[in-house]
């Protein structure tokens, strides 16, 4: 009976050790990176890991982060999952401006420990608030006419501001940015279009005049 009891104890002990050994492994997919978290010590190692299967230690597991680009959308489109509606700000000359944007950010592998200790595991809402602040501030740097006629330049400046801020404060880069739509007050847009039409009519009239002069020479 004693031998049977000892055999049972040994078998249970071996089984428990095997379970603990198996639980000491964790894995990361190709699109993931992670930090080694020890629940026993309640600590996180600084060195990040990329995809693969690893022995982390008794009871340890990965805190996982995306290694690939993540998209953020501010759109007035119920068919797309967004992080909020279009953004609203004021131009440098005081007109209301509403614009839809999207961008893609990528966390820095070498800075993922700093990201975790600074912003925590639920970091994205903070990044979204950063983006709203930077983009609405960028809108105030241009007057309405520039917004309407130089959208590419506005988009480039917004992209630069957002990327610079994310690199300094979000431990990430912003490789891609899209300024999708810009909406200014309707009477202003109509006035600009009317001015553009008149300018085109003047240019056409000048070309016709030059053409007539050539014909009569």
Question: Does the pLDDT value for residue 141 go beyond 80?
Answer: yes
Q: What is the pLDDT of residue 109?
A: 97
Average pLDDT value for residue range 93-117: 95
Reported as a single tens digit per residue, the pLDDT across 75-91 is 998 788 899 999 999 99
Q: What is the pLDDT of residue 156?
A: 97
> What is the residue-averaged pLDDT of the chain?
85
Reported as a single tens digit per residue, the pLDDT across 174-207 is 999 999 999 987 766 655 665 555 556 556 655 6
CA distances from 202 to 7, 46, 108, 208 (A): 101, 66, 53, 10
Structure-block tokens of residue 102: 């999207």
Q: What is the pLDDT of residue 215?
A: 56
Q: What is the pLDDT of residue 178?
A: 97
Structural domains in the chain, CATH included, are 2-66 (no CATH), 70-184 (3.30.479.30)
Measured distance CA(203)–CA(201) in Å, rounded: 5
Question: Does the pLDDT value for residue 209 go beyond 70?
Answer: no
Q: What is the pLDDT of residue 40?
A: 75
Average pLDDT value for residue range 168-172: 97
Q: What is the pLDDT of residue 79?
A: 80
Q: Strands (DSSP E) along 5-156, which ranges?
A: 25-28, 32-38, 43-44, 52-55, 61-66, 70-74, 87-90, 96-107
Q: What is the pLDDT of residue 22?
A: 57
Q: What is the pLDDT of residue 199?
A: 57
Strand, coil or helix: what is 19?
Answer: helix
Residue 20 confidence class, pLDDT cut points 50, 70, 90: low
Question: Does the pLDDT value for residue 120 go beyond 90?
Answer: yes
Q: What is the pLDDT of residue 80?
A: 82
Q: What is the pLDDT of residue 184?
A: 84
Question: Does the pLDDT value for residue 57 go beyond 90?
Answer: no
Q: Residues 170, 127: contact at Cβ < 8 Å?
A: yes
């Amino acid at each position: 009976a004693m031998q049977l009891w000892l055999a049972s104890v040994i078998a249970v002990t071996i089984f428990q050790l095997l379970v603990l050994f198996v639980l000491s492994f964790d894995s990361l997919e190709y699109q993931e990176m992670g930090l080694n978290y020890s629940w026993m010590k309640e600590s996180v190692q600084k060195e990040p890991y990329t995809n693969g299967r690893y022995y982390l230690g008794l009871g340890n597991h990965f805190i996982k982060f995306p290694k690939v680009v993540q998209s953020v959308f501010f759109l007035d489109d119920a068919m797309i999952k967004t992080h909020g509606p279009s953004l609203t700000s004021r131009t440098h000359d005081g007109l209301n401006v509403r614009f839809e944007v999207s961008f893609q950010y990528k966390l820095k592998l070498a800075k993922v420990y700093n990201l975790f200790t600074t912003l925590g595991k639920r970091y994205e809402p903070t990044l979204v608030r950063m983006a709203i602040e930077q983009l609405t501030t960028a809108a105030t740097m241009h007057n309405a006419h520039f917004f309407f006629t130089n959208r590419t330049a506005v988009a480039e400046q917004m992209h630069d501001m957002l990327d610079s801020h994310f690199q300094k404060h979000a431990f990430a880069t912003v490789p891609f940015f899209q300024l999708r739509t810009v909406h200014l007050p309707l009477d202003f847009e109509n006035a600009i279009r009317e001015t553009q039409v008149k300018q085109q009519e003047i240019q056409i009239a000048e070309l016709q005049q030059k053409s007539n002069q050539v014909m009569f020479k």
